A and B are shown apart, each in its own frame.
Chain A
C-alpha cells in the first residue's frame, strides 16, 4: 500500500542553523509533492509544491528538493528562527484532479533561541 514517512517525529535545532526535514515514500508515483506547515490548533497551511520533473524549488528561506529515484523529498529552512517552530507535513498527489492527496504524519520542528 502507499506509504509516506517523515522519518523524524521531532527535530530540535539552534536558531540560525538550517533545518532539514525528510519525506520518503513507497508504492507511489506522484505527479507532485507538497509541503505544509501546521501550528497547534490550526489547519495546515500550504507552503510549496514541486512537480515530478523538478529537482528543486525555492521560496524565500525555504528550499525543497524532489528525487523520484530515491523516492524522497528534502525540505530546508535556512537561517531558522523560533517563529519557524511548527509541525511540517509533506503530501503526495497524483496526475488526475480526482486523485486524492496523501499526507505524512509530520515532523515537529522546534527552533531554540
Chain B
C-alpha cells in the first residue's frame, strides 16, 4: 500500500494550459503539504493544510490553488501554466507537524511546460 500517492507521475503540457495534480494519503496524518523541487534540488514549501484548513501559504503566484476536500486529500490546480513552472512537485503528509517523525513524501510529479 502506497502511503502518499500522487498522480500523475509525469505531466507534459503547453504554456497557458490549466492542469491539476492529485494527492492522497492513507496514513491518517492531520497535515498535508505541497513542495516544489527546482532544478537545483531545493525543496520549497508552497502550501500546507491541517485538517482541511490552510495553515501555510507561501509566496506563490495565485495561479496555484490548493484544494483539500478532506484531510486525506490535497490537490493542486495550476492555471495558465508558464515555462518557469516546470519542476518536480511533491506532496507530503505528517502528524504533529513533522516534529516527531518527519514527513512522508509522495514519489513526485514531474511537470514539464513546453
Candidates A36, A42, A97, A102; contact of B99 at CB < 8 Å: A97
Q: Which residues of B contact A87 (CB under 8 A)?
A: 41
Instruction: Count contacts on B: residues with CB < 8 A to the other chain.
Output: 29
Cα distance A31–B98 in the bound complex, in angstroms: 11
Cβ A99 vs Cβ B97 within 8 A: yes
Cβ B58 vs Cβ A103 within 8 A: no
Cβ A43 vs Cβ B107 within 8 A: yes
- B27 CB to closest chain A CB (Å) equals 12
Give the bracket for the number of chain A residues in contact with chain B. Answer: 20 to 34
Cβ B97 vs Cβ A96 within 8 A: yes
Cα distance A36–B43 in the bound complex, in angstroms: 12
Residue of B nearest to A44 (CB): B105
Give the residues from 5 to 44 in chain A that come closer than 8 angstroms, CB to CB, to chain B.
31-32, 34, 36, 41-44
Beyond A46-B103, A93-B99, A105-B42, list 15 extra A-B contacts (CB 8 Å).
A43-B90, A43-B106, A43-B108, A44-B103, A45-B105, A46-B101, A49-B101, A93-B97, A97-B31, A97-B50, A97-B97, A98-B55, A100-B48, A101-B103, A105-B41
Which residue numbers of B lie inside 8 Å of A, CB to CB? 4, 31, 35, 40-45, 48, 50, 55-56, 58, 90, 92, 96-108
Cβ B45 vs Cβ A100 within 8 A: yes
Cα distance A31–B97 in the bound complex, in angstroms: 12
Cα distance A101–B40 in the bound complex, in angstroms: 18
Cβ A97 vs Cβ B96 within 8 A: yes
Cβ B104 vs Cβ A32 within 8 A: no
- A97 CB to closest chain B CB (Å) equals 3
Cβ B43 vs Cβ A44 within 8 A: yes
- A99 CB to closest chain B CB (Å) equals 7
- A63 CB to closest chain B CB (Å) equals 17
